């Protein structure tokens, strides 16, 4: 069925004719094509030899049993691919083979269809962590909500977190459904309760305690050290060599105040986040607009040997106009977590930089981080950017916050929970719901408390007629929370709970919370409701929303489902377009890439401090690498780019840091943008993106086997069975032997070679890229007998490594066609468009339907491909065709 | 992962919200056993639960992190196995030589970053220094999730000289703020709560149970219409509901039971952080008391030296701040002072071991049932390195008396020791964080 460079062996006519010898008979009389097996297979696959662990003479034929069925499919596939019988054995005649395949296939298909009719392809499943979080966000109009982390990691099957078999429910899940729902609703009450007026306020750098205490240097005869700040006025030091009475002129002189800045030369040492704006803490979760004012400066090296080894001309100004443009990443800090919320380029000319609107959580503070600067790690650090002529620094004047910005969604969550009923404070020990509030008067206690503590208020909702209100509110809530029409006995079930808790002495709000919590932890909410056969419209709407939004259906989608028109191809197509056009479709793209390409594992390895200290702590690079892949995939969907773009393209997405990494000139600034690649560039396509190259390496070494297998399974679409228990090749960085030479021995072994022939070639081609995806001609190693390459890392520590043996990235495809490097390799695989498209279609099918691609699904995948071929298998087209196919429309 | 796709306004999707846990909440959470927020710290039950009752032997763990480490040339012994030669520091533990094992050449894979790494001492979460670091569940919380319901307190999180830096992290990566006032903990352990507090807590637990009743009612109905093939998913849901109900029931039981009565007086906490060593001693005594009364089976203690001042040690002359001394830069004068401090650490540990050994429990001693883990995030605080961590495990039912030496260049994963400890606790698991197996060479008694 599959014909590609990695399985180009179904050319039946060329096979030699076979001669029959003695063979063991099959035990199971019901096996179709018995004669074929006995003639060609049981010589090796019998009880005695049991080659590859397979004894066909003992294998029963019970295709209604899933495990047994899978075994026979494997047999069918190996024979149909021409891999069995193996080359050195007698081969069946073309006619025999044809007969075998045409006998076997319908029997297997029929058996599977029978099973599908009774069960459906997909197993019933619960929402995964991503979906549950998004569903809560959308239901409660709380897009800032973060609860995914509260759940144990979801299980994976067929590589995704979407399959029922792997999505278990434990008592921990139950406990966390309860606590997450309770937490989310209390957050909604906090928003409703607080509602501080929208304001635009400036927070001057000179007023920030964290920017001005302890390490502030007013004596600039010494240069600023790491983690210290200094005063800048305009673009000069202030005041040189003397102490100021007050750090700021304050309101007395607005013109001068505008020039007052605080400067520094290091990046944030993360535990401290010294350079944060502690004067502002988001008073409530919501939307804010953030601006920063400042400039870059140029800082003299001074006499301090820690910042530069060279001596300084003391007559020069300690601080002068900046000579660089510095990328600034803005993080939030909230207790112990930091989120990236944006970035901008700080210029030598003082300017105001608008981050735009961003969601902040209650109590979050903001931290602008110059990402090129070093983060010192004692002892004996040096500033890698410091030169005899000085080095770069930043000088910030103020941060301005506009917000919280309100619209009709701000209080929509509360409206859903309690309608127009008023929220009131509870006095004394009366029962109420405890909510957390930001108290601007509290400050960080000494001893390094991670964040300013929140205050607590006990609140309740006032109802004149609790019974009636509960009834009305619960009905509205259930109708929105459940994804299909709500049964009356369910309404009563939850109302009973509310009434019972009220009787037990809980307040109105607490009792309603108990009811709502139960709804959000009930099977009706957390489980998908799909019945075998054709999905009804509500189930279809849910499947579509979970696919493209990673969330539950919105009002429009529900309306289509209620009217029973969603399954109409035109409506379904229009809804697919609408969902893809919505910003919420980013959730699909991110979640899909997190699993398909393992992007969630971007931080699972550290660059070795021995070999790759130049990547250590380089968050800006890792962030840009991740962004490149996400934006690239987004572009493929937006522009319906052909499937071959998975392996090659003439463009990609870069910012300055990533372009530098790739050696592509002319890209300046922190913003990611689409860039046309030079004609001979090895970049373009997913395989050669830094993110993919990072997640397929371990931080110290690369393995052609592991990378090759990964590429084969993710990009080219072939599964490789797990290896037999043989010793793995041990990485050796001493520089005398390359991984390739070590592998040669491995590949000499015929039983190893069968898989390695397929697995290693992509890995060999990618040997030209190091652990972070930079191009390399030579391996790095630690050979002492060679001159060292020296540098200072972002941790301020000196490092050195040696260039070792040259990289050889040549190889040959399993069909024998040679390639000399990655460019060549890409050219070869790019030509096989349909294979690349087939893989994409299969990966999307698993993700969208929550079921693996099964034997009987293959024909449907081919139909999808057939219909998408006009667009050269454009990604958007593939998505549409999948959604219109029986695979998607049936359970 | 984080989002870089153009969205306005951007929702940072990659980090969970950390609800700052206030002191009051904390006390509510840990002080009164297993209120709903604390259910947060429950994870899949890989474990077969250790049943309570006379037949069950309680197993316990006390994990101590000295976050400035110990001078390595004074700590690590020479020779390996049972015939190793005690180092100068280990001489302080000579009397207990057969009651502990010392490890060298061990560390947490990918845990780097110097000072920030102390919060990973019991979690082994990689890269505490990176800007998007997120911690994971700690050893004690893993234990608490599995067997926490067996005692009034699922776990205790203690510290000296900090109320912020914690060794205990829940499954969602939230720090449990440590308690640094022994007297407060003592009150929680042994003083009865007010009737109103108890009643409020009971109401909360009952609400949880009512919620579970309601959802299982719906599940029961659904079961009729679910195809046979999918029925096991719903069965699993039932089992989970029942599991949780059982736990809530157990918590309720603790609320009804009176707290244990002890003869020991309430400890008096020194106010001055300079009295660091006195505070350590008080915490050790408190831990012993908690184990003795079977109030909990898992305790962590962060010994925070980084922000501690010049230590005031009776009869000794210390002139420099503890943190400064740790950056001794090979100065002999500084090293000499540091050795005084380090030796006090060893002395106090020795006293703890002796006290636990002196306390009989059934046919054994408290030490036989209590694993005492002593270690640090620093291999060498002077160089800020996080490998070759000084590590001691005492008691708890292992064959001790040996130096388990591993490769100093390519360290052996310390999480393997944690797997061994979990198994010793009776928790069926073969993995913790970046472990690759159980601790090689360490056998149970």
Rg (CA), chain B: 23
pLDDT of residue A318: 82
Q: Say if residue A163's pLDDT is above 50.
A: yes
Structure confidence by residue, pLDDT tens digits, A496-547: 999 999 999 999 999 999 999 999 999 999 999 999 999 999 999 999 999 9
Residue A15's pLDDT band, with cuts at 50, 70 and 90, is: very low
Structure confidence by residue, pLDDT tens digits, A64-79: 888 888 888 888 888 8
Of B10, B212, B221, the CB nearest to A341: B10
Helix axes A875-884, A569-581, angle to 10 degrees: 140
pLDDT of residue A834: 95
Closest-CA distance, B261 to chain A, in angstroms, reads 29
Task: Say if B165 is an interface residue toward chain A (CB within 8 Å).
Answer: yes
Do B108 and B122 contact (CB within 8 A), yes or no? no
Do the chains contact at B37 and A179, CB–CB below 8 Å?
Answer: yes
Q: Provide the chain B residues 252-311 that lie in CB contact (below 8 A) with chain A.
A: 307
Do A782 and A804 contact (CB within 8 A), yes or no? no
Greater confidence, A638 or B134?
A638
Residue A272's pLDDT band, with cuts at 50, 70 and 90, is: low
Which ipTM score applies to this complex? 0.86
Do the chains contact at B211 and A599, CB–CB below 8 Å?
Answer: no
Measured between beta carbons, the chain B residues lying within 8 angstroms of A451 are 20
CA atoms within 13 A on the CB side of A385: 24
**Which residue's entry shows tokens 């005649």?**
A93
Question: What would the mean pLDDT of A51-73 be, rounded to a whole number?
Answer: 83
Q: Say if residue A215's pLDDT is above 70.
A: no
Share of chain A above pLDDT 70, in %: 88
Closest-CA distance, B229 to chain A, in angstroms, reads 6
Question: What would the mean pLDDT of B81-106 be, rounded to a whole number?
Answer: 97
Residue B385's pLDDT band, with cuts at 50, 70 and 90, is: confident
pLDDT of residue A701: 84
pLDDT of residue B148: 87
What is the DSSP secondary structure assignment for residue B85, as one 8-state letter?
B
pLDDT of residue B339: 96
Do A617 and A381 contact (CB within 8 A), yes or no? no
Burial of A501 (0-12, 13-18, 19+ CB in 10 A): buried
Do B441 and B117 contact (CB within 8 A), yes or no? no
Dihedral sign, Cα of residue B345, residue B346, residue B347, residue B348: positive
Least confident piece of the model among A762-766, A791-795, B128-132: B128-132
Rg (CA), chain A: 32
- In chain B, how many H helices and how many E strands? 12, 11
Residue A449's pLDDT band, with cuts at 50, 70 and 90, is: very low
Estimate the share of chain B in helix, then strand, then coil, as percent rounded to the nearest 5: 40, 10, 50
Q: Provide the chain B residues 102-161 that lie in CB contact (below 8 A) with chain A.
A: 110, 112-116, 126-135, 145, 161
**Which residue's entry shows tokens 């846990």?**
B21
Structure tokens at A794: 């972002």
pLDDT of residue A209: 85
Measured between beta carbons, the chain A residues lying within 8 angstroms of B247 are 171, 175
Distances in whole angstroms, Cα of residue A570 to Cα of each of A51, A120, A566, A883, B130: 53, 25, 9, 12, 49
Do the chains contact at B243 and A505, CB–CB below 8 Å?
Answer: no
Measured between beta carbons, the chain B residues lying within 8 angstroms of A363 are 20
pLDDT of residue B52: 42
pLDDT of residue A528: 95
pLDDT of residue A223: 54
pLDDT of residue A74: 86
CB atoms within 10 A of CB A158: 19
pLDDT of residue A9: 38
- In chain A, how many H helices and how many E strands? 27, 21
Structure confidence by residue, pLDDT tens digits, A697-751: 988 888 898 899 999 999 998 877 766 555 556 667 676 777 777 777 766 776 6
- Average pLDDT along chain A: 87
CA distance A2 to A642: 20
Q: What count of CB pairs under 8 Å joins A to B?
A: 292
Of B12, B20, B221, the CB nearest to A453: B20
pLDDT of residue B131: 57
Greater confidence, A152 or A128?
A128
Structure confidence by residue, pLDDT tens digits, B151-165: 988 899 999 998 778
Task: Say if B162 is an interface residue toward chain A (CB within 8 Å).
Answer: yes
CA distance A278 to B291: 42
Greater confidence, B385 or A380?
B385
Do the chains contact at B164 and A449, CB–CB below 8 Å?
Answer: yes
Question: What would the mean pLDDT of B184-201 be, rounded to a whole number?
Answer: 86
Question: What would the mean pLDDT of A50-54 be, rounded to a whole number?
Answer: 79
Q: Say if residue A24's pLDDT is above 80.
A: no
Strands (E), A61-129: none
Do the chains contact at B247 and A603, CB–CB below 8 Å?
Answer: no
Share of chain B above pLDDT 70, in %: 86
Q: Say if residue A12's pLDDT is above 60.
A: no
Do the chains contact at A527 and B233, CB–CB below 8 Å?
Answer: yes
Least confident piece of the model among A344-353, A727-736, A756-765, B2-11: B2-11
Distances in whole angstroms, Cα of residue B162 to Cα of each of A448, A872, B122, B186, B390: 8, 62, 17, 18, 22
Do A478 and A494 contact (CB within 8 A), yes or no? yes
CA distance A546 to A849: 9
Do A400 and A291 contact (CB within 8 A), yes or no? yes
Of A147, A356, A631, the CB nearest to B5: A631
Which of B155, B152, B146 lies closest to B175 in space, CA to CA? B155
Do the chains contact at B243 and A174, CB–CB below 8 Å?
Answer: yes
Strand partners, B380: B385
Greater confidence, A823 or A43?
A823
Dihedral sign, Cα of residue A97, residue A101, residue A102, residue A107: positive
Measured between beta carbons, the chain A residues lying within 8 angstroms of B127 are 603, 606
Q: Say if residue B216's pLDDT is above 90.
A: yes
Q: Say if residue A587's pLDDT is above 60.
A: yes
pLDDT of residue B24: 32
CA distance B270 to B274: 9
Cis peptide preceding A404, ω within 30 of 0: yes
Distances in whole angstroms, Cα of residue B218 to Cα of each of A209, A472, A774, B342, B434: 55, 21, 55, 60, 40
Closest-CA distance, B130 to chain A, in angstroms, reads 7
Structure tokens at B105: 């050449």
CA distance A452 to A209: 13
Do B359 and B292 contact (CB within 8 A), yes or no? yes
Measured between beta carbons, the chain A residues lying within 8 angstroms of B228 are 119
Of A143, A268, A626, the CB nearest to B1: A626
Closest-CA distance, A768 to chain B, in angstroms, reads 25
Structure confidence by residue, pLDDT tens digits, B289-338: 999 999 999 999 999 998 788 899 988 888 888 988 888 878 888 899 99
**Which residue's entry shows tokens 């002495």?**
A505
Do B122 and B140 contact (CB within 8 A), yes or no? yes
**Which residue's entry shows tokens 């100065």?**
B331
Greater confidence, A66 or A363?
A363
pLDDT of residue A4: 53
**Which residue's entry shows tokens 């007050």?**
A246
Question: What would the mean pLDDT of A480-487 be, rounded to a whole number?
Answer: 96
CA distance A590 to A575: 20
Strand partners, B305: none
Share of chain A above pLDDT 90, in %: 57
Question: What would the mean pLDDT of A795-816 be, rounded to a whole number?
Answer: 88
CA distance A122 to A891: 6
Residue B288's pLDDT band, with cuts at 50, 70 and 90, is: very high
| Greatest mean pLDDT among A20-29, A175-184, A656-665, B423-432 | A656-665
Structure confidence by residue, pLDDT tens digits, A668-683: 999 999 999 999 999 9
CA distance A573 to A566: 9
Q: Provide the chain B residues 380-399 that lie in CB contact (below 8 A) with chain A.
A: 382-384
Distances in whole angstroms, Cα of residue A204 to Cα of each of A279, A282, A373, B59, B217: 9, 16, 22, 56, 58
DSSP H or E run through A638: helix A619-638
Closest-CA distance, A197 to chain B, in angstroms, reads 20
Of B15, B128, B161, the CB nearest to A339: B15
Structure confidence by residue, pLDDT tens digits, A284-315: 999 999 999 999 999 887 654 344 444 444 56
pLDDT of residue A448: 43
Do the chains contact at B214 and A522, CB–CB below 8 Å?
Answer: yes
Least confident piece of the model among A138-147, A178-187, B141-150: B141-150
Structure confidence by residue, pLDDT tens digits, A566-576: 999 999 999 99
Greater confidence, A263 or A725?
A263
Q: Say if residue B10's pLDDT is above 60.
A: no
Question: What would the mean pLDDT of A123-127 be, rounded to a whole number?
Answer: 94
- Mode of pairing for the β-strands spanning B364-365 and B360-361: antiparallel
Residue A269's pLDDT band, with cuts at 50, 70 and 90, is: low
Task: Say if B212 is an interface residue toward chain A (CB within 8 Å).
Answer: yes
pLDDT of residue A238: 80
CA distance B384 to B391: 17
């Amino acid at each position: 069925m599959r014909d590609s460079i990695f399985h180009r062996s179904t050319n039946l006519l060329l096979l030699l004719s076979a001669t029959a010898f003695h063979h063991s008979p099959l035990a199971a009389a019901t096996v179709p094509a018995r004669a074929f097996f006995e003639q060609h297979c049981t010589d090796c696959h019998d009880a005695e030899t049991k080659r590859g662990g397979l004894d066909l003479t003992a294998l029963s034929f019970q295709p209604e049993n899933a495990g047994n069925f899978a075994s026979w499919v494997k047999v069918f596939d190996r024979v149909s691919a021409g891999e069995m019988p193996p080359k050195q054995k007698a081969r069946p005649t073309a006619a025999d083979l044809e007969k075998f395949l045409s006998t076997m296939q319908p029997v297997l298909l029929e058996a599977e269809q029978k099973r599908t009719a009774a069960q459906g392809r997909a197993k019933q499943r619960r929402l995964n962590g991503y979906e549950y979080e998004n569903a809560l966000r959308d239901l409660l109009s709380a897009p800032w909500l973060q609860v995914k982390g509260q759940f144990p990691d979801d299980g994976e099957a067929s590589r995704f977190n979407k399959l029922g078999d792997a999505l278990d429910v434990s008592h921990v899940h139950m406990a966390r459904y309860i606590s997450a729902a309770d937490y989310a609703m209390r957050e909604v009450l906090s928003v409703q309760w607080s509602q501080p007026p929208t304001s635009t306020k400036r927070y001057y750098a000179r007023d920030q305690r964290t920017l001005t205490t302890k390490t502030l240097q007013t004596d600039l005869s010494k240069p600023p050290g790491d983690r210290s700040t200094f005063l800048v006025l305009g673009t000069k030091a202030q005041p040189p060599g003397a102490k100021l009475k007050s750090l700021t002129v304050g309101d007395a002189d607005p013109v001068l105040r505008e020039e007052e800045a605080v400067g520094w030369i290091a990046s944030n040492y993360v535990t401290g986040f010294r350079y944060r704006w502690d004067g502002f803490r988001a008073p409530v979760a919501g939307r804010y607009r953030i601006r920063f004012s400042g400039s870059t400066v140029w800082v003299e090296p001074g006499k301090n040997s820690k910042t530069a080894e060279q001596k300084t001309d003391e007559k020069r100004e300690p601080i002068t106009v900046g000579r660089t443009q510095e990328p600034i990443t803005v993080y939030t800090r909230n207790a112990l977590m930091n989120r990236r919320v944006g970035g901008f380029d700080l210029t030598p000319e003082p300017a105001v930089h608008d981050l735009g609107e961003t969601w902040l959580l209650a109590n979050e503070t903001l931290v602008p981080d110059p990402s090129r600067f070093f983060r010192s790690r004692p002892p004996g650090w040096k500033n890698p950017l410091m030169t005899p002529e000085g080095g770069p620094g930043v000088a910030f004047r103020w941060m301005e916050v506009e917000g919280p910005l309100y619209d009709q969604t701000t209080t929509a969550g509360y409206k859903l929970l309690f309608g127009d009923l008023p929220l009131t404070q509870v006095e004394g020990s009366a029962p109420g719901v405890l909510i957390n509030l930001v108290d601007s008067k509290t400050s960080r206690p000494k001893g390094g408390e991670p964040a300013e503590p929140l205050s607590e208020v006990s609140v309740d909702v006032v109802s004149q007629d609790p019974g009636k209100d509960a009834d009305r509110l619960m009905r509205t809530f259930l109708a929105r929370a459940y994804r299909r029409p709500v049964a009356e006995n369910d309404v009563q079930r939850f109302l009973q709970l509310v009434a019972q808790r009220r009787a037990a002495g809980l307040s109105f709000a607490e009792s309603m919370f108990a009811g709502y919590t139960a709804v959000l932890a009930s099977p009706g909410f957390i489980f998908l409701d799909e019945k075998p056969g054709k999905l009804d419209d509500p189930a279809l709407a849910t499947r579509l929303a979970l696919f493209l939004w990673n969330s539950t259906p919105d009002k429009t989608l529900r309306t289509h489902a209620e009217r029973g028109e969603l399954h109409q191809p035109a409506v379904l197509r229009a809804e697919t377009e609408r969902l893809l056009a919505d910003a919420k479709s980013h959730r699909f793209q991110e979640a899909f890439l997190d699993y398909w390409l393992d992007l969630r594992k971007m931080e699972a390895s550290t660059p070795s401090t021995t070999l790759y200290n130049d990547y250590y702590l380089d968050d800006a690079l890792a962030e840009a690498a991740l962004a490149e892949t996400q934006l690239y995939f987004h572009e493929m969907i937006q522009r319906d780019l052909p499937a071959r773009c998975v392996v090659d393209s003439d463009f990609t997405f870069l910012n300055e840091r990533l372009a530098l990494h790739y050696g592509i000139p002319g890209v300046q600034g922190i913003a990611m943008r689409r860039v046309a690649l030079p004609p001979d560039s090895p970049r373009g396509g997913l395989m050669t993106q830094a993110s993919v190259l990072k997640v397929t390496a371990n931080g110290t070494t690369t393995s052609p086997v592991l990378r090759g297998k990964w590429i084969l399974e993710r990009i080219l679409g072939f599964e490789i069975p797990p290896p037999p228990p043989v010793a793995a090749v041990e990485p050796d960085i001493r520089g005398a032997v390359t991984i390739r030479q070590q592998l040669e021995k491995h590949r000499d072994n015929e039983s190893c070679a069968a898989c390695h022939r397929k697995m290693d070639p992509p890995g060999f081609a990618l040997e030209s890229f190091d652990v972070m995806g930079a191009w390399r001609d030579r391996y790095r190693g630690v050979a002492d007998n060679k001159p060292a390459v020296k540098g200072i890392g972002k941790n301020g520590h000196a490092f050195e490594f040696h260039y070792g043996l040259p990289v050889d990235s040549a190889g040959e495809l399993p069909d024998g066609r040679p390639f000399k490097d990655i460019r060549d390799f890409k050219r070869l695989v790019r030509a096989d468009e349909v294979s690349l498209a087939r893989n994409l279609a299969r990966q999307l099918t698993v993700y969208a339907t929550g079921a693996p691609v099964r034997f009987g699904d293959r024909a449907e995948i081919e139909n999808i491909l057939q219909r998408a071929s006009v667009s050269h298998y454009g990604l958007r087209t593939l998505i549409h065709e999948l959604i219109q196919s029986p695979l998607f429309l049936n359970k | 992962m984080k989002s870089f796709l153009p969205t306005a306004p951007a929702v940072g999707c990659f980090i969970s919200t950390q609800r700052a846990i206030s002191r009051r909440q904390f006390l509510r959470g840990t002080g009164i056993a297993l209120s709903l927020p604390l259910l947060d710290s429950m994870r899949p039950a890989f474990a077969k639960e250790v049943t309570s009752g006379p037949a069950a032997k309680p197993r316990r763990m006390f994990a101590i992190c000295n976050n400035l480490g110990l001078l390595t040339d004074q700590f690590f012994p020479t020779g390996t196995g049972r015939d190793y030669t005690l180092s100068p520091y280990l001489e302080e533990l000579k009397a207990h030589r057969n009651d502990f094992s010392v490890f060298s050449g061990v560390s947490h894979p990918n845990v780097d970053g110097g000072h920030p790494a102390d919060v990973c001492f019991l979690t082994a979460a990689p890269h505490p220094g990176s800007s998007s670091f997120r911690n994971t569940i700690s050893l004690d919380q893993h234990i608490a999730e599995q067997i926490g319901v067996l005692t009034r307190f699922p776990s205790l999180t203690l510290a000296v000289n900090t109320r912020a830096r914690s060794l205990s992290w829940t499954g969602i990566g939230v720090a449990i703020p440590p308690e640094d006032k022994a007297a407060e903990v003592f009150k929680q352990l042994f003083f009865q709560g007010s009737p109103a507090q108890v009643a409020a807590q009971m109401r909360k637990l009952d609400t949880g149970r009512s919620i579970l009743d309601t959802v299982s009612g719906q599940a029961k109905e659904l079961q009729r219409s679910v195809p046979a093939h999918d029925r096991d998913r719903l069965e699993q849901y039932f089992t989970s509901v029942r599991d949780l109900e059982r736990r809530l029931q157990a918590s309720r039981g603790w609320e009804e039971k009176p707290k244990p009565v002890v003869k020991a007086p309430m400890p008096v906490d020194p106010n001055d952080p300079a009295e660091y060593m006195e505070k350590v001693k008080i915490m050790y005594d408190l831990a012993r008391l908690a184990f003795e009364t079977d109030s909990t089976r898992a305790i962590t203690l962060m010994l925070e030296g980084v922000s501690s001042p010049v230590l005031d040690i009776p009869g000794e002359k210390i002139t420099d701040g503890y943190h400064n001394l740790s950056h001794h830069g090979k100065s002999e004068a500084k090293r000499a002072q540091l050795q005084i401090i380090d030796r006090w650490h060893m002395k106090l540990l020795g006293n703890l071991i002796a006290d636990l050994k002196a306390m009989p429990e059934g046919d054994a001693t408290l030490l036989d049932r209590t694993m005492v883990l002593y270690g640090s995030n620093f291999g060498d605080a002077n160089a800020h390195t996080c490998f070759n961590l000084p590590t001691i495990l005492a008691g708890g039912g292992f064959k001790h008396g040996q130096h388990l030496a591993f490769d100093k260049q390519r360290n052996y994963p310390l999480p393997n020791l944690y797997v061994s400890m979990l198994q010793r606790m009776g928790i069926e698991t073969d993995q913790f964080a970046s472990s690759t197996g159980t601790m090689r060479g360490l056998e149970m008694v």
